[in-house]
Chains A and B, each alone.
Chain A
């Protein structure tokens, strides 16, 4: 059971059950000087779908929300990602994205301090042992990249 416990850590189960920043970002709209970007993410392998809404002034992620359906890993990852990047400069969110990717797919011996800088996001380290689930954990991050790039194409893990 131990690898399973590493995968389904309490924090992940909690965010799966009670996702943070869940829902659309509209109504109050973007604050002055900014705009709300959004992008769809799709993991065709398991049918995970999410839509991400990002309120940014081009420098900082002022607000971020998501909605959609997916497995525990993809939902918790989206939830924890929104917590991690909310209020952060875009450059820092980019750094977290690279660190997160490294945590899941990089060579552990040369990974360096990525884990230490990721804070709560490090709970996803257990996903390394489940290579087919890596896409679930990275879906939200790919979707964030797509939203910030302003592309029309939905992000996909394929």
Chain B
């Protein structure tokens, strides 16, 4: 499944980068993310609950942050396994500051979902994915406004 989306965050690209790569922020903003712990450089242990109401899967896995250039881009490689299946995602996130307090975030990547959720939810899953991404960036926007306010 292809993942793509463009979102705008009301702050500069360096702050956006910091928000998007800060485990504390992510724990607050990623829908379904139960915990995120740094285990080694740029690799986190993640505990995630995701899915559709009838077939929610709990996944344990890792999140890797690679190719990171502060304020410009980074890649997230996620892998999770659970009793109902697995998720794998590889997403490139590009940041482009379009004005002083406005950054465009471009997400582009591939996700693979296996097991019950894939079987039952295939017709809904890309809709669910973009819904979740929307939710996430909405939360990030809030974080950004908070950061801006604190900064001011």
A-B interaction? no
